[in-house]
Amino acid sequence: MATLEEITETLKDRIGEDCGLGATLKFDFKGDGFIFVDADTVPNVVNNEDADADCTIKITMDNFIALTQGDLDPTTAFMMGKLKIEGNMGIAMKLQSVFG
């Protein structure tokens, strides 16, 4: 299983300098840590802070990895309760372009 650090580095690579999200986003791995994405600034910042975000996505690490590898459909994950979204749902919808 990937570590929080490995997942964070992979996300940094995917997001790059400017992913175009224009907002802050937090992934809450339900007790296994956080990934905070500040896409409000350029270059975008990705770290493991538990900071306030415009949108928070609560998901287990295993489901997050499946999502990023294309093994889990985001809509299905949401409908099945494997993924919970708090805050601005529009930001979460824009994520598909980052993970696409």
- Please state the pTM of the whole predicted model: 0.93
What residues contact 40, with CB distance under 8 A and at least 6 apart?
22, 23, 24
* Contact call for residues 23 and 54 (beta carbons, < 8 A): yes
HSE (CB half, 13 Å, CA atoms) of 73? 4
pLDDT mean for each 10 residues of the chain (100 residues): 92 91 96 96 96 97 92 93 96 78
Q: Taking the CA of residue 8 as centre, how many other CA atoms within 13 Å lie in the half-sphere pointing to its CB?
A: 18
Taken in order of first residue, the domains within the chain and their CATH numbers are 4-93 (3.30.1050.10)
